[in-house]
Structure 1
Amino acid sequence: MLVVAPILIGVLYVCLMSLIREPHRRRFNAIMVAGAGAAYLSGGGFGAWEFAFTVVVTYCAYRGLDSWTFIGIGWLLHTGWDVLHHLKGNPIIPFAEHSSFGCAICDPVIAVWCLAGGRSVFDVLRGRRSESPSDAAPVARHP
């Protein structure tokens, strides 16, 4: 169950995110990966490295506003950070010993979806082309 539940959580995340239309889906996911990058700040156990990691993931999140690839990279970076915390640091949820391990299983599920373009799984299952714009065509933002 230590592996199955996190995979199911990742699949559930992808399904729920698929309900959000583009370009909002990509932007929302950029915010989500930024939040994940700061998850260990309150006591992850790696001191100043926690801040350095947050800066790197925040950069990925910012670039992710226009690029699913950067969102996927952010989730993969978080996966590595989860593994380090599982082995040497503090768990992401202090009272749940294996929470960082579970997060390290869940995050790649999300990352693969993002690296594949963050398409709605419902559109994929129906055989429809997604409304998702490509990473090469950034969406104009209002000031």
Structure 2
Amino acid sequence: MSVVVPIMIGLGYVALMSLIREPHRRRFNAIMVAGAGAAYLSGGGLGPWEFAFTAVMTYCAYRGLESWTFIGIGWLLHTGWDLLHHLHGNPIIPFAEHSSLGCAICDPVIAAWCFSGGLSVTGLLRARLVRSRAERPTTQP
């Protein structure tokens, strides 16, 4: 399985989410984390632990309504859950054997974006430009 495709999916997700204005972007992403928490419920293969994980992700989603940090935590928790399913459970997409591994590669890309405050792509570029200008040495005559 290629690592590039899941990373590109994560970057595509970030780009699409950039089209949603704040605060709706954060709230929408909180809902996405809640959905990700329930992704394995219909047959993940880890029994009652699937319900416990869904409860934890629901808490992260609720706190994520007001905090990008909790949304990022939720995506990192989902990364671990994906890896557990890849190794011991059923794949997230039943007919795609390595789909949980792909999801585990994609999710940290989204989490990193969330930890940056969920800025739009243009906001991220603007922040990087401001930082690079601030780091330049000033020359005085």
Q: Same fold (TM over 0.5)?
A: yes
**Counterparts of 1:37 and 1:108, CA distance in 2:** 15
TM-score under structure 2 length normalisation: 0.88
Q: Which runs of 4+ in 1 moved over 3 A?
A: none
Tell me the equivalent position of 1:25. Answer: 25
Is 1:15 equivalent to 2:15 in the alignment? yes
Letter in 2 for 1:102: G
Give the root-mean-square deviation of aligned CA atoms.
1.4
State the identity %: 83
* Aligned pairs, number: 129
Q: Deviations over 1:57-89 (max 9, x none)?
A: 000000000000000000000000000000010
Aligned in 2, Cα 1:92/1:125: closer, same or farther, shift over 3 Å? same
More moved, 75-84 vs 1-10:
1-10
Letter in 1 for 2:17: M
Aligned in 2, Cα 1:69/1:127: closer, same or farther, shift over 3 Å? closer
Q: Deviations over 1:98-131 (max 9, x none)?
A: 0000000000000000011101112222459xxx
**Counterparts of 1:35 and 1:97, CA distance in 2:** 21
Tell me the equivalent position of 1:35. Answer: 35
Tell me the equivalent position of 2:75. Answer: 75
Alignment gaps of 5+ in structure 1: 129-143
Secondary structure of the residue that 1:41 maps to in structure 2?
A: coil
Tell me the equivalent position of 1:88. Answer: 88
Tell me the equivalent position of 1:120. Answer: 120
**Counterparts of 1:127 and 1:65, CA distance in 2:** 24
Tell me the equivalent position of 1:103. Answer: 103
Secondary structure of the residue that 1:39 maps to in structure 2?
A: coil
TM-score under structure 1 length normalisation: 0.87
Alignment gaps of 5+ in structure 2: 129-141
Letter in 2 for 1:43: G
